[in-house]
Structure 1
């Protein structure tokens, strides 16, 4: 069963078509990573699926219903979105920011209920940010702040979580920390997670399903062993990659790579 689907989705910026007649199915209860070169339409696709951008054509379905025919609160109870560079008003405490995730459930004057506070504390605990709850968001490091943003998305209590490059600007240890939190959440809570991610080895390590894009189209999709191949990476990224199997995780990893020459790039584009 698919929790999020797009049929014939077309998205443009001005006169430039970024995504053209794209079909996509996000498997429920799995971790899906979207990979591809810069400017291929990954973030545009994620924003369209999250209803941040309205497609010029096609239809997106959330749990079987057209997303554009659902109210904002209905969608917010089913799907949380963490953009690439989230920003918050200055002076907010961690607890206040995470409490914003409870907005879809609030009525009247928006006073937090016992259930709201329970979910906020749970989100702070699972992301390891409970000790920062009274601290200003502005005073946190990049890694701490990113965990707090994820806590806000978790407090929203949705089955589906979309994240646009959640490890950007983080060092290696903090990248791994964030991805392991999301992996644990998927395995323990069965949340459906969709991430745009640049690091191919992270995409392979943490994903059940990978979607590879180039020039606004999906070139291939499947499990990591199906997508992380020498042939597919040549087509998607125009690189000659050495792929080996990680002996600990039994997942493919890109050991090293070189750029392919211009003539071969032209042949790939022409499909010859």
Structure 2
């Protein structure tokens, strides 16, 4: 099973440092979610883990090897990546897109084998896209396109899946379907999954391990019970959250919340009126 970790990672763009001294261990065979406010470095960390973005300093280890020294094809056999808002060439069909997931396993002229076709058909089926396989990706709805990209990622058959906001554009039912699919892949095939996700309740429900970030720094990591607390959410999101237990899953749920800054400004205005 593939392992992934970082050592004193510093990440940024140009002169701007976004993440500094990041030491992160992705647990094998678990679902890890990264949560945090917009701009805190979640997607940048995921890109760096996937070697899409280069770190300023520090090391990403894949199976104990420095990832920048691992051949690209070897990485692609171990790690599938779904970026945020990917785009496909005009006219590319759903089947063709999903077939790209088989590229790391092909040799020679890159022709699809019977096994490749079997895996592609399976990926289309579990994402509910079998009937759309001949349609152009750019003719699909936003939610259907997102499912097509997820189908491509799982067709790659890697032990490790990195997904940046995989439920984007999906309605509530399809969000749940995709997350349950990822949960099934984790449970039945022991795939290690790392997700950036905005919905805290989904993160809590489907994670073994959560990592909460603020300004590129880990505020708290651990189980949902350890991370989904009023104090952690106050630090990470500047909100006053009410946390309860989900009666079905027994996981913590953010029932409601208020903005702390708003509350403080209201208190100031009240004081000025006296």
Q: Considering only CA atoms, is the larger Rg found in Structure 1 or Structure 2?
A: 2
Q: Is the 8 A contact 1:18 1:215 kept in 2?
A: yes
Aligned residue for 1:211?
211
Aligned residue for 1:242?
242
Aligned residue for 2:223?
223
Counterparts in 2 of 1:84 and 1:116: CA distance versus 1, 3 Å? same
Structure 2: gaps of 5 or more residues: 265-274
1:32 correspondence with 2:58: no
**In structure 1, C-alpha distance between the alignment counterparts of 2:12 and 2:141, rounded to whole Å:** 36
**In structure 1, C-alpha distance between the alignment counterparts of 2:183 and 2:202, rounded to whole Å:** 11
Q: Is the 8 A contact 1:211 1:220 kept in 2?
A: yes
Deviation digits for residues 111-161 of structure 1, max 9, x if unmatched? 111221121112112222122222221222222221111110011110000
Matches within 5 A, 1:9-158: 9-158=9-158
Aligned residue for 1:268?
none
Q: Is the 8 A contact 2:2 2:159 kept in 1?
A: no
Q: Is the 8 A contact 1:79 1:160 kept in 2?
A: yes
Secondary structure class of the residue paired with 2:10: strand
Counterparts in 2 of 1:108 and 1:14: CA distance versus 1, 3 Å? same
1:255 correspondence with 2:267: no
Report the alpha carbon displacement of residue 171 of structure 1 after superposing the two structures with TM.
2.3
Report the TM-score when normalising by structure 1.
0.93
**In structure 2, C-alpha distance between the alignment counterparts of 1:262 and 1:247, rounded to whole Å:** 31
1:172 correspondence with 2:172: yes
Secondary structure class of the residue paired with 2:24: strand
1:195 correspondence with 2:199: no
Runs of 4+ in 1 over 4 A off after TM superposition: none
Structure 1: gaps of 5 or more residues: 265-272
Q: Is the 8 A contact 2:88 2:138 kept in 1?
A: no
For the aligned residue pairs, the C-alpha RMSD in angstroms reads: 1.6
Deviation digits for residues 193-246 of structure 1, max 9, x if unmatched? 111011111110111110000011111100100100111111111111100000
Report the TM-score when normalising by structure 2.
0.93
